[in-house]
Structure 1
Amino acid sequence: MKNLFLLVFLASFTLLSQSQTQLDYYLPQNTSYNSNIPTPQSVIGHEVGKWHVTHDKLAQYMYALDAASDRITIENRGTTFEDRPLLLLTITSPKNHQNLESIRKAHVDATNNNNAVNISEMPIVVYQGFSIHGNEPSGSNAALLVAYYLAAAESDDVKNLLDNTVILFDPSFNPDGLQRFAYWANTNKSNNLNPDPNDREYNEVWPGGRTNHYWFDMNRDWLPVQLPESRVRIQTFHKWLPNILTDHHEMGTNSTFFFQPGIPSRTHPLTPKLNQELTRRIGDFHANALNKIGSLYYTEEDYDDFYYGKGSTFPDINGSIGILFEQASSRGHIQESDNGILTFPFTIRNQFTAALSTLEAAKTMREDILKYQHDFYKNARAEALKDNGKAIVFGNEKDAASTYHLAEILKRHQITINEVKSDFTSNGKKFKKGYSFIIPKNQKNARLIQAMFEKRTSFQDSLFYDISAWTFPLAFNLDYDENVSTANIGNEVTDLQLKTGTVTSKSNYGYVMQWHEYYSPKALNTILNANIRAKVAMSTFKLNGTTYDYGTILIPVQNQSKSAEELYAFLTEVAKESHLQIDAVSTGLTDGIDLGSRQFRALTAPKVAMIVGEGVSPYDAGEVWHLFDQRYNMTLTKLDTESLTRTDLSRYNTIILPSANLSGSAAEKLKAWVGDGGTLIGFENTVRWLSSNEFMKLDIKKLELKAKHISFEQKDDFSGAQLISGAIFETKLDRSHPIAFGYKNETLPLFRGNSIFINADKQSYNNPIQYTKNPLLSGYISKRNLDSLANTVPFQVQRLKRGKVVAFTDNTNFRAFWYGTNKLMMNAIFFRDEL
């Protein structure tokens, strides 16, 4: 009888949940709606919430609104990796649309110390963005309703709102991920909705729909700006400088609804206190709106405003107010939760309600928020004025490309940068014209510059929702000085260009290529895959007045598959495409090892595979895939764990295993392959797996965490304070070791996000990378972990029969902007036989 009652209840609830997908479940009923504006159902073919909207249907509806409404204009700002459009709707009154560019210019001009601006007559600008994580779909599905409401509602309140507000409306931050998740949820939906969380509908397959095409968490890319989706939204942000930016997310099914502010003690110190006070006032509007529909919510818990690379925090260092919404996720259409049966329409309604309460707050608080933005830049200019005559210089005299890519990020953030007037030295580092740039401190975005360049090691709180350090020149492994004279400033950079690659001349003897430049691996891969013989120098030498470092690549002219003329033409194109210089030589005699020396070792083309699938971190795997595919134009085969034991691995000489924990059968398969001569490269958590499965013998420190005088209430904070959520540490390099080829300095900053500490090998030459005695450069680490980290090693390589196993405790490819350590993995691949 009990089970019968439950079945009847669920059946009736299913019918109820389906009936709730009507428009009147979501929309305010205190207004009439323009019948000439198409409803979502009339375009996408179903009521909002019945199915998960696919991105193509979402885009189709947004174009339909643009065609029907004089309140909306639409633009396609670019495409994703999968060629989906990155749409932006501008929503405001018809009158404002007629003067939109004038409104934008006046809005931005007001941040440029224009005291003549009359705030009382200025519209406020709100950027509303949805579902940057594709499997958090209630945001983008709510976007259908928000856009319809703003286009069709005819009340005086809505007309007044549109007269006083310009809304930049991004219906899907992550089109590729949204499409992937919608496919999963829809293809696994039953006609009789099943709330059982064990159902396949609520457990999407690896890698899930959260990420974009290359499996990136795009909500961490607002500051690095490495992805096409990020680049268009950052361009929009700086073009308009919105006053409020909202970021609609989802969280665990058993939660309720969260809105900011987050935990007060975890706000970045560079964020003005007034920012958080205004955020709290805006929160009152959310609370009032959610109260009216009876939804539970909370604030000032769980989340923080520390890392400026998140969508809800990036605005805070740019004079705006970022607001995070987190809605409990149904992860499908209907699911059991601690708060009862959670339906997809209910999650959509909460997001819709918060979107409207944001606009109500913007309209009501318009003058206060506009004044806050103007004062933010006024105060920033006053602070910057104190640094007039001072500048930041950054560069690498041997690597123009890495320097360029940091400059590229700065330009995307509309930070003024200049050329170096002429070569100069500061603090023992040479800053070479063409290989360095200089940033005047006295400029509008001085606070953003400080946030990107600062090294911070003291904190109010010891817990972080995301990373605690992101110092950009350290991420790029560039020399820099934060206090040089502006007397070194050359022309402002208005047209940033990557250095043109060249071959110095034609040779009938040979060519040499230094390994310092960022795109050296791209060049070598092209050379080797064209069946051109190449060798690597295991020692330094001098030739024609130039000192050639460890890792220099030699390409002989004789006995190649191409004639001397063909080889010259081929290398000219390689140099051009890889933005580096290849030097022609006419003799094998050098000051040091001669070009025919045994210290030049023959290289073979890499045949690389990477293991992906269940048990592997999709973030780490995606970063490797992106690096190969987008930066170095290298072929990378992705091997799924599900079929690994059935795959012929003999066609690969290198296999990469990102942070992972695989089965015993996979371990045996890989061990046999390594034994036959393969090179296995493992990162982060894979290190423990390699050790426990006897691929290599590692002396990993065992750390015991003992709590003293810690209450039950404090236990989560106590254990959380021991996490290394993301900080930067100094290592010392043995530059003669192949893993360090291409690095000119004796030290290298590494990003670390785990507590895997390997004791150094007894033989010093087996520790080519080692943490220094006092390694912390920037970020948070507990004293216990810092003491444990000192003098340990992040890299080890050991033989296993005929093959080799390489272990990195750290992620050398973190979030695609840690350019400075990309070459470590490339060295392990190209110079695998010499490790």
Structure 2
Amino acid sequence: MKNFIFITVFLFSFQVGAQEELDLSYYLPENVNYNDDISTPQEVLGYVPGEWHVTHDLLINYMRTLAEESPRISIENRGTTYEGRPLLLLTITSEENQKKLEKIRRNHLELTIPGSGQLNTGEMPIVVYQGFSIHGNEASGSNAALLAAYHLAAGQGTEIENLLENTVILFDPSLNPDGLQRFAYWANMHKSENLNPDPQDREFDEVWPGGRTNHYWFDMNRDWLPVQLPESRARIATFHKWQPNILTDHHEMGSNSSFFFQPGIPERTHPLTPQMNQDLTREIGTYHAAAFDKIGSFYYTEEDYDDFYYGKGSTFPDINGSIGILFEQGSSRGHVQETDNGLLTFPFTIRNQFTAALSTLEAAHNMRSKILDFQREFYNNARNSAGKGAYVFGNSKDPNSAYHLAEILKRQQVEVHELAEDLQTDGKSYKKGTAYVIPKNQRQHRLVEAMFEKRTKFADSLFYDISAWSFPYAFNLDFNDNVAIKSAGNKIDSLQKPEMTLVSKSEYGYLMEWHNYYAPKALNMLLKENLRAQVAMKPFEAAGKMYDYGTILIPIQNQKLNPTELFELVTKISKEASIEFNGVTTGLTKGISLGSNEFRTLKPQKVAMIVGEGVTPYDAGEIWHLFDQRYDMLLTKLDTRNLGRTDLSKYTDIILPNSWGSALGKSETEKLKEWVRDGGTLIGYKNAANYFKKNDFMKMELLENDVKAKNVTFEERRDFRGAQGIGGAIFRAKQDRSHPVNFGYKNDEIPLFRDTTIFVKADSTSYNNPIQYTANPLISGYISDPNLKLIANTVPFKKAGMGSGNVILFTDNTNFRAFWYGTNKLLMNAIFFGDEM
């Protein structure tokens, strides 16, 4: 990143010491009159924006006030966050357009449908989605939204009236309400009467996990494609409802930087993004440059960031016929901070964001026909390039995983069909009712191609985000990208969860296969009721049906519930967990009998996770979300600050997510060792490998990339080092399905997501390597040649005994961003079956 000097003399509103009075004239354009009937921000907030960080409740209060007072604004609540905060959207346009808004929307959507050539784009409004502060502690965006909304609601004159007549603005004042509220509380709590710009002040050092993330500590700017979070689902529904032509995403970056706007680094643009998209982005950039030149703010473009991963707000629009634009403002983080370039104030950052919001609208208005024509051309070309045939994906043993991928596709307005009849192709079996078909010849073909693609060749070796995200692999589904279109059955208009066969009452026992995604949820529901359950260590056949490793047996006898009560409970669990139970009448089977010692008794698990300073919030949040939202399992969060005085004996399992530095000191480490020796199972992720090795939790050999820089210039040094990392790629591993960590997987190979360079050498004893990368493991994504050689035949899983307990290591994130469904069960297996490993 290149740093540019921006305004070093503080703008008139502040000085180091007492805070001076600030007024709206600092922000608003000159020569614009404002309607006195529309409330100013300070009339509702009690202060001028920039004096304090706006809390989400005050932000939405002001937005509701504007909607009540201005006929240019309509407002809707699209749902709530996990913490119950509303997800508001303002639709801003002329009063006349407000009266025919639905007609405008329908006409606009016609541009994405072949045969729309008769529409005159010169007479159509352009649609712009403006979104602010998806990272809660990048607050200048949402604070600028106060000013932008006021300007659009109250501004008068021919220029703004023409703009509103020809533009529909979808205005999202806070993309992350929970994070914004958390950060505003922090910044305001530490504000002094005499503003202190010292970067070492506590104001600039948020307590863990910080305000960047949402309730479950997710980076929501990575969820535009997977749409796993309520905030994402609301904005994606809005996006597809309107198909906006431009989407802006207001962020902050390091305090020593100026202001960035796209395009980013040209060679890091995804190949599926049309060149015209980048050309239009560059032309829009000239409007930003002119606006920033006018107010004297420095900026840069095309030297940072990229448009590769389609799951970001600035890139997702690019594969949907729109233009995504990232804004990055050097952050004051609090109210005023010393930087390499002088004092950076909060009002200054707000003014830059506000300026970019207005320059976007000016560009949209002036380039209206050109951008509307591009949208029509994008979808015409998508149809023409789609080709024939279809994709098919499914899992005959796990209909729920396939259903959840179909659910994502439906949210993205992809056309999904049933499988017409059972299909056998390329050695894979697809069963009607557990598989789905996606025709290629459809409006969203380019998006589907982007979601399903495998790619191993790249123009650049550096990525701002992950380099691979192929969804069929994320869900560990059988997949074929070129089946005959006749495989497509009825189109699915309303997706329904897979139906389970009704449980037949038994007086002997019930069997539950472990393949289903929600099997851990069902088992936990049984164990919570203190019912006896056992796991099969070997396959067997009962009543003509084959049961695999990991099948769960619930005996009828010697339970606290009578047979009728147990039947009613199993029926309830079957419905709630969407999983099938089979009643059996005899213990005599082919293979192990139901009374065999190869059925091991399971106990209720009480699980804790270490969180706090030193632990990666993203990784911890993904685990918390998995337990709480997917499996309805309790998870106790143990803060690193208090671990030394915590009673660990209450827990059967403790999870250590990825961490950095010295998250745990010597005394906490010794305490964990004692707990493991007494029978606990410690499960570590990623950098826990170094912690486990250094502190003698387990022995392992870590392989390192020692490649030396040759013919690399000083200027190229960062690119060279960056190319040796793994930003996120997909790799193939072999599975020993007889090992408990792999229970519930039907294939002998599994795709794993990896974003680390932690390589563990395989054990010399083969059965200690139940998951092992193949000799040629790369499926999709970027990895340097030296690292590709290193990863071959290494192991991403390791287990060691310690006293009466277990230490388990996963070098890869099995819960990545809540959409890597295919490996969630590895963690559940470690928890429920750790003692059997």
Secondary structure in 1 aligned to 2:746?
coil
Q: Once superposed, which parts of structure 1, at least 4 consecutive aligned residues long, lie more than 6 Å away? A: 9-12
TM superposition shift of 1:381:
1.1
**Contact 2:500–2:578 (CA<8 Å) still a contact in 1?**
yes
TM superposition shift of 1:626:
0.2
> Which residue pairs with 2:792 in the alignment?
790
Amino acid at match of 1:178: L
> Which residue pairs with 1:118 in the alignment?
120
> Which residue pairs with 1:451 in the alignment?
450
Q: Are residues 1:542 and 2:541 paired?
A: yes
**Contact 1:32–1:155 (CA<8 Å) still a contact in 2?**
yes
**Contact 1:675–1:800 (CA<8 Å) still a contact in 2?**
yes
TM superposition shift of 1:139:
0.1
**Contact 1:49–1:141 (CA<8 Å) still a contact in 2?**
yes
> Which residue pairs with 1:23 in the alignment?
24
**Contact 2:418–2:492 (CA<8 Å) still a contact in 1?**
yes
In 2, Cα distance between equivalents of 1:819 and 1:11: 53
**Contact 1:501–1:578 (CA<8 Å) still a contact in 2?**
no
Seen in structure 2, the aligned counterparts of structure 1 residues 655 and 101 have a Cα distance that, compared at 3 Å, is: same
TM superposition shift of 1:769:
0.1
> Which residue pairs with 1:64 in the alignment?
65
> Which residue pairs with 1:108 in the alignment?
109
Secondary structure in 1 aligned to 2:200?
coil
Seen in structure 2, the aligned counterparts of structure 1 residues 363 and 13 have a Cα distance that, compared at 3 Å, is: closer
Secondary structure in 2 aligned to 1:341?
strand
> Which residue pairs with 1:626 in the alignment?
625
TM superposition shift of 1:709:
1.0
In 1, Cα distance between equivalents of 2:21 and 2:470: 49
In 1, Cα distance between equivalents of 2:458 and 2:444: 24
> Which residue pairs with 1:641 in the alignment?
640
TM superposition shift of 1:195:
0.1
Q: Are residues 1:568 and 2:567 paired?
A: yes
**Contact 1:17–1:343 (CA<8 Å) still a contact in 2?**
no
Q: Once structures 1 and 2 are overlaid, which stretch shifts more, 739-748 or 495-504?
A: 495-504
Seen in structure 2, the aligned counterparts of structure 1 residues 358 and 526 have a Cα distance that, compared at 3 Å, is: same
> Which residue pairs with 1:5 in the alignment?
none
Q: Deviations over 1:697-725 (max 9, x none)?
A: 01111322311111111100000011100
**Contact 2:705–2:786 (CA<8 Å) still a contact in 1?**
no
**Contact 1:503–1:571 (CA<8 Å) still a contact in 2?**
no
TM superposition shift of 1:615:
0.6
- Identity over aligned residues, as a percent? 66
Amino acid at match of 2:634: T
Amino acid at match of 1:95: E
In 2, Cα distance between equivalents of 1:11 and 1:608: 55
**Contact 1:538–1:599 (CA<8 Å) still a contact in 2?**
yes
**Contact 1:503–1:584 (CA<8 Å) still a contact in 2?**
no
Q: Deviations over 1:482-538 (max 9, x none)?
A: 000011111111111112334431111000000000000000000011000000000
> Which residue pairs with 1:99 in the alignment?
100
2:192 to 172, 190, 193: 190
Secondary structure in 1 aligned to 2:33?
coil
In 2, Cα distance between equivalents of 1:605 and 1:175: 36
TM superposition shift of 1:670:
0.8
> Which residue pairs with 2:522 in the alignment?
523
> Which residue pairs with 1:771 in the alignment?
773
The aligned length equals 824
> Which residue pairs with 2:436 in the alignment?
437
CA-atom RMSD, angstroms?
1.2
> Which residue pairs with 1:819 in the alignment?
821
- After superposition, where does 1:661-680 map in structure 2 within 5 Å? 661=660, 662=663, 663-680=665-682
TM superposition shift of 1:24:
0.3
Amino acid at match of 2:754: R
Q: Are residues 1:551 and 2:553 paired?
A: no
- After superposition, where does 1:302-341 map in structure 2 within 5 Å? 302-341=304-343
Seen in structure 2, the aligned counterparts of structure 1 residues 11 and 98 have a Cα distance that, compared at 3 Å, is: closer
Q: Deviations over 1:15-45 (max 9, x none)?
A: 7994463100000121110000000010111
- Normalised TM-score (structure 2): 0.98
Seen in structure 2, the aligned counterparts of structure 1 residues 716 and 17 have a Cα distance that, compared at 3 Å, is: farther
> Which residue pairs with 1:780 in the alignment?
782
Amino acid at match of 1:832: G
> Which residue pairs with 1:44 in the alignment?
45
TM superposition shift of 1:12:
10
**Contact 1:392–1:438 (CA<8 Å) still a contact in 2?**
yes
Q: Deviations over 1:395-434 (max 9, x none)?
A: 0000010000000000000000100111111111111011
> Which residue pairs with 1:736 in the alignment?
738
> Which residue pairs with 2:7 in the alignment?
none
In 2, Cα distance between equivalents of 1:785 and 1:17: 55
> Which residue pairs with 2:602 in the alignment?
603
In 1, Cα distance between equivalents of 2:66 and 2:508: 67
> Which residue pairs with 1:485 in the alignment?
484
2:303 to 301, 304, 313: 301
Secondary structure in 2 aligned to 1:442?
coil
Amino acid at match of 2:28: L
Q: Are residues 1:234 and 2:233 paired?
A: no
Structure 1 regions of 5+ residues with no counterpart? Answer: 1-8
In 2, Cα distance between equivalents of 1:531 and 1:191: 58
- Normalised TM-score (structure 1): 0.98
In 1, Cα distance between equivalents of 2:66 and 2:591: 71
TM superposition shift of 1:582:
0.2
1:205 to 192, 204, 207: 207
- After superposition, where does 1:216-295 map in structure 2 within 5 Å? 216-295=218-297
In 1, Cα distance between equivalents of 2:775 and 2:16: 66
TM superposition shift of 1:10:
13
Amino acid at match of 1:119: T
Seen in structure 2, the aligned counterparts of structure 1 residues 295 and 349 have a Cα distance that, compared at 3 Å, is: same
Amino acid at match of 1:89: L
Amino acid at match of 1:364: N
TM superposition shift of 1:668:
1.2
Q: Are residues 1:652 and 2:631 paired?
A: no
In 2, Cα distance between equivalents of 1:264 and 1:510: 62
In 1, Cα distance between equivalents of 2:263 and 2:451: 23
Q: Deviations over 1:213-237 (max 9, x none)?
A: 0000000000000000000100000
Secondary structure in 1 aligned to 2:583?
strand
TM superposition shift of 1:155:
1.5
Seen in structure 2, the aligned counterparts of structure 1 residues 11 and 48 have a Cα distance that, compared at 3 Å, is: closer
Secondary structure in 1 aligned to 2:490?
strand
In 2, Cα distance between equivalents of 1:552 and 1:658: 28
**Contact 2:137–2:183 (CA<8 Å) still a contact in 1?**
yes
In 1, Cα distance between equivalents of 2:543 and 2:773: 37
- After superposition, where does 1:587-602 map in structure 2 within 5 Å? 587-602=586-601
Q: Once structures 1 and 2 are overlaid, which stretch shifts more, 726-735 or 492-501?
A: 492-501
In 2, Cα distance between equivalents of 1:531 and 1:15: 64
Q: Deviations over 1:790-809 (max 9, x none)?
A: 00000000001111000000
TM superposition shift of 1:461:
0.3
Amino acid at match of 2:561: K
Amino acid at match of 1:98: K
In 1, Cα distance between equivalents of 2:503 and 2:177: 45
Q: Deviations over 1:452-473 (max 9, x none)?
A: 0010000000000000000000
Secondary structure in 2 aligned to 1:74?
strand
Q: Once structures 1 and 2 are overlaid, which stretch shifts more, 664-673 or 469-478?
A: 664-673
**Contact 2:16–2:194 (CA<8 Å) still a contact in 1?**
no
Secondary structure in 1 aligned to 2:34?
coil
In 2, Cα distance between equivalents of 1:411 and 1:171: 26
Q: Deviations over 1:568-599 (max 9, x none)?
A: 00000011111011000000000000000000
> Which residue pairs with 1:86 in the alignment?
87
TM superposition shift of 1:687:
1.3
Amino acid at match of 2:44: V
**Contact 1:551–1:741 (CA<8 Å) still a contact in 2?**
yes
Seen in structure 2, the aligned counterparts of structure 1 residues 120 and 13 have a Cα distance that, compared at 3 Å, is: closer
In 2, Cα distance between equivalents of 1:441 and 1:12: 57
